[in-house]
Amino acid sequence: MNTLTLYFRREWQLMFRNTSSLIQPLTFFIIIALLFPFSLPAENALLQRIGGGVIWVSAVLATLLSLESMFHSDYHDGTLEQMLIHPRSLPLAMLGKALAHWTATGLVLSLFSPVLCLTFNIPSDQIWVLFAGLLLGTPSLTLIGAIGAALTVTLRRGGVLIAIIILPLYIPILIFGAGMLTQATQGLDVTSQLYALAAILTLALTLSPFAIAGALRVTIN
């Protein structure tokens, strides 16, 4: 746990030195989500139907945007090589790094999502459904995306390759997350979708740190 806390705090300190890494995903998330209400007819029913899906897709794209730089600075200054030979647990270090990255991206996007719901005229009693789904889904997006970032860390421009590798794995999260709001709109129970997102998150928390560590060892060595 000391390793987890150490790398979590270290990652936050590095991100605060580079504030663009905090602002850029949120700005991209807001811009993408706001383009749809302005480009479509101002019909409440239409906006409500597509609102949840648009916000989820925006969150996925914003997460992908932030992944490319996740390991680049550590790779170029030699920190990753030191992590690989250090006796501290590399999977725990990667988990701490990924969780810090999520708090700066996925958590911020989730907290801001209720504001965007207002632009899609989503009823207040359904906003919590989208918010809960994002809170459960965005950590999985970050943890799974970190595997792709680790596999492409040595490439100068690996953003497109990360998307190709990771997007198929994002589809179940996107289906369950966006489907929650559709179910809530129809007055149906959303418990099954919540359980599905929680199950995916549990698997991601358990397996992704080892996959990230293995990907770094293969890529760098």
Identity at 100, one-letter amino acid code: A
- Residue-wise pLDDT for 118-127, tens only, equals 888 888 878 8
- Other CB atoms within a 10 A radius of the CB of residue 76 amount to 10
| Model pTM score | 0.89
Contact 147, 212 (CB under 8 A): yes
Q: Provide the angle, in degrees to the nearest 10, between the axes of the packed helices 159-185 and 124-151.
A: 160
What is the dihedral sign for C-alpha 199, 200, 204, 205? negative
Give the pLDDT of residue 209.
92
Listed in sequence order, the residues at least 6 apart from 209 whose beta carbon sits closer than 8 Å to its beta carbon are 91, 92, 94, 95, 98, 143
- Using CB atoms within 10 Å of the CB of residue 185, give its burial: 0 to 12 exposed, 13 to 18 middle, 19+ buried: middle
Residue 109's nearest CA partner among 129, 134, 132, 126 is: 134
Find the helix or strand (DSSP H, E) in which 52 lies.
helix 44-67
Tokens 């760098």 — which residue? 220
Stretches in the chain below the pLDDT threshold 70: 1, 41-44, 158, 221
pLDDT value, residue 136:
93
Classify residue 49 by burial, with Cβ atoms within 10 Å: 0-12, 13-18, 19+: middle
What DSSP state is assigned to residue 221?
A: -
Q: Which residues contact 160 (CB under 8 A, 6 or more apart)?
A: none
